């Protein structure tokens, strides 16, 4: 076991989530593969970003990791123990250590509860702490996320979006988590507030040694905060690797298209525009072969019939693409 492997706090393997969908009274039930075989690892103090468009399965992954949904198949290991087979105290303990921050700060705080009650709820449920020490912890974390003690007795509607997201972060920290799953935590915020919240998240990560699973569609944010990036398309990982590798030389055509579609202020950072035709295929009946072939300009016959596997390159990046395997992606040869 190498040093870095020791630090792995959360690991998923072959995670699947299939939903049965009724298509009408006399038709056979359809299967939606929201997540179809996803593997990942995340180390303490590191950030794994999950990137993709809506419908790619990134939110399903977040729901699995926080045990809101049970995977159809696969393993989730937290500190070496399989979450899915845990029971009783162990399960409760694991649940406390994996927390979630939601996208919409207006919906994630109970509008009828005071900030203090919201923050202390996890403690009330999971611990036998007395009210005084609960309050002490809540105040301590309010301070940590840059809010004041007097905010303890207020209701959520008195706060701005950025402040609410700070409260949500404080709530996530109440149980001393090891892993925080952040589902688009800054995409509902204004630019200047977004920077404040991102800074806060990074400060807290350093201070508490948290591992982040950072789900986002905003690549410029991901580039800034992530150590490793996982690009998903229709329930599968298409490219996965160190942030620097992915952003300096995207290998999968989809990653490249995503990057080139992201607007940039600095003209030097803009890369040649690749416009993907069409839209994400319906997960109800995904195309045969590589799921991306319908929108890919490099697709050939093989892509239409066979499904590529994830292949590792010499720099530790995983790519799921026949074009890459066969060396026919011309942008890589420039």
* Choice from 6, 20, 90, 92 touching another protein (CB under 8 A): 92
DSSP 248: H
| Residues with Cβ within 8 Å of residue 138, at least 6 apart in sequence | 116, 119, 120, 152, 170, 174
E-strand stretches of 45-161:
47-51, 73-78, 81-82, 98-101
320: nearest Cα among 284, 291, 283, 288: 291
* Choice from 22, 248, 265, 268 touching another protein (CB under 8 A): 265
By beta-carbon proximity to another protein, the closer residue of 223 and 245 is: 223
* Choice from 7, 13, 104, 249 touching another protein (CB under 8 A): 104
236 pairs with which residues across the strands?
233
Near another protein by CB under 8 A, which window of 2-10, 42-50, 192-200, 314-322?
A: 192-200
Shortest distance, position 2 Cβ to another protein, whole Å: 26
By beta-carbon proximity to another protein, the closer residue of 98 and 319 is: 98
Shortest distance, position 49 Cβ to another protein, whole Å: 12
Instruction: Say how many residues touch another protein, by CB under 8 A.
Output: 72
Shortest distance, position 82 Cβ to another protein, whole Å: 19
Site for another protein in 124-153 (CB under 8 A): 125-126, 153
Tell me the backbone φ, ψ of residue 98, rounded to 5 degrees.
Answer: -120, 115
Measured distance CA(175)–CA(171) in Å, rounded = 8
Near another protein by CB under 8 A, which window of 32-40, 195-203, 285-293, 325-333?
A: 195-203
Near another protein by CB under 8 A, which window of 80-88, 132-140, 168-176, 303-311?
A: 168-176
* Choice from 14, 136, 143, 190 touching another protein (CB under 8 A): 190
Cβ atoms of 182 and 58 within 8 Å: the answer is no
Cβ atoms of 19 and 80 within 8 Å: the answer is no
* Choice from 74, 122, 250, 286 touching another protein (CB under 8 A): 122
- Count other Cβ atoms within 10 Å, centred on residue 121: 15
- Element containing residue 44 per DSSP (H, E): none
Site for another protein in 266-305 (CB under 8 A): 266-267, 269-270, 273, 275-276, 278-280
List b or e across 194-231, with b for residues whose CB sees 16 or more CB atoms inside 10 angstroms.
bebbbebbeebbeeeebbbbbbbbebebbbebbbbbbb
The helix/strand/coil state of 217 is coil
By beta-carbon proximity to another protein, the closer residue of 31 and 195 is: 195
Does position 84 interact with another protein (CB under 8 A)? The reply is no
Residue 272 to residues 179, 258, 323, Cα–Cα distance (Å): 37, 12, 19
169: nearest Cα among 180, 159, 161, 178: 180
* Choice from 1, 3, 132, 191 touching another protein (CB under 8 A): 191
Site for another protein in 34-73 (CB under 8 A): 53-54, 66-68
Binding mask 198-237 for another protein (x = CB under 8 A): xx--x--------------x-xxx-xxx------------
Tell me the backbone φ, ψ of residue 100, rounded to 5 degrees.
Answer: -130, 145
146: nearest Cα among 167, 161, 132: 167
By beta-carbon proximity to another protein, the closer residue of 68 and 311 is: 68
* Choice from 158, 284, 306, 311 touching another protein (CB under 8 A): 158
By beta-carbon proximity to another protein, the closer residue of 108 and 240 is: 108
Near another protein by CB under 8 A, which window of 37-45, 78-86, 90-98, 137-145?
A: 90-98
């Amino acid at each position: 076991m190498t040093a870095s492997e020791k630090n792995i706090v959360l690991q998923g393997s072959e995670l699947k989530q299939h939903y049965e969908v009724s298509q009408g009274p006399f038709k056979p039930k359809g299967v939606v593969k929201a997540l179809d075989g996803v593997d990942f690892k995340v180390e303490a103090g590191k950030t794994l970003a999950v990137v993709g468009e809506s419908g790619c399965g990134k939110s399903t992954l977040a729901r699995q990791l926080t045990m809101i949904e049970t995977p159809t198949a696969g393993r989730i290991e937290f500190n070496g123990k399989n979450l899915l087979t845990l029971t009783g105290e162990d399960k409760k303990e694991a649940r406390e250590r994996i927390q979630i921050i939601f996208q919409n700060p207006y919906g994630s705080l109970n509008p009828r509860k005071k900030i203090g009650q919201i923050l202390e709820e996890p403690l009330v449920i999971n611990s036998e702490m007395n009210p005084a020490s609960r309050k002490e912890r809540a105040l301590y974390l309010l301070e940590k996320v840059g809010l004041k003690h007097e905010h303890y007795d207020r209701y959520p509607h008195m706060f701005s979006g950025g402040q609410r997201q700070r409260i949500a972060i404080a709530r996530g920290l109440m149980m001393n988590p090891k892993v925080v799953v952040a589902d688009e935590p800054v995409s509902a915020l204004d630019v200047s507030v977004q920077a404040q919240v991102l800074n806060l998240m990074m400060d807290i990560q350093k201070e508490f040694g948290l591992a982040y699973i950072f789900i986002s569609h905003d690549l410029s944010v991901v580039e800034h905060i992530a150590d490793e990036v996982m690009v998903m398309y229709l329930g599968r990982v298409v490219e996965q690797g160190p942030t620097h590798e992915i952003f300096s030389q995207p290998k999968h055509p989809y990653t490249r298209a995503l990057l080139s579609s992201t607007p940039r202020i600095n003209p030097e950072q803009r890369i040649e525009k690749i416009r993907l035709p069409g839209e994400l295929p319906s997960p109800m009946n995904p195309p045969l072969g590589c799921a991306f072939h319908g929108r890919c300009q490099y697709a050939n016959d093989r892509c239409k019939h066979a499904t590529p596997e994830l292949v590792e390159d010499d720099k530790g990046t995983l790519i799921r693409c026949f074009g890459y395997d066969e060396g026919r992606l011309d942008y890589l040869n420039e």
